[in-house]
Amino acid sequence: MRWDHLAEHQIRKAQAEGQLDDLKGAGKPLEFRGGNGVEAIGFGIMADAGVLPREIELKKAVDEQRRALSDMAEPEDRRREMKKLADLELRLAIEREARRRYYSGA
């Protein structure tokens, strides 16, 4: 089944089950926060629902790891934390590349 057919099927199923009734902002135009593309709208909807995309979670983890690393002086501790940072940065790069490919149709 193609992605667009699967998405349509899930939407119709949710409508039939009443899961889309009385949603916040129903019938109103979508707000453009942080950009005006489909991606920005999607991130805004997810934020309203309390869901963070994996990419955003990883970005926060990378920033937190960098802060933790800046406070370390012991070489062995820094090496261990640098490995964690490298792993997080790699995961973030993979997520960003996957998103880029998805939106470019590659």
Percent of the chain with pLDDT over 70: 90
* CA nearest neighbour of 99 among 45, 40, 51, 11: 40
Higher per-residue pLDDT: 73 or 20: 73
pLDDT at 9: 84
pTM: 0.58
Which is it for the CA torsion 21, 25, 30, 32, positive or negative?
Answer: negative
Please check the confidence at residue 47 and state whether its pLDDT lies above 90. no
Q: Determine contact, residues 98/71, Cβ cutoff 8 Å.
A: no
Helix 54-70 to helix 75-104 angle, to the nearest 10 degrees? 160
Categorize the per-residue pLDDT at 95 as very low, low, confident or very high, splitting at 50, 70 and 90: very high
3 state SS for 5-71: HHHHHHHHHHHHCCCCCCCCCCCCCCCCCCCCCHHHHHHHHHHHCCCCCHHHHHHHHHHHHHHHHHC
Distance CA 85, CA 92 (A): 10
Q: Determine contact, residues 58/88, Cβ cutoff 8 Å.
A: yes
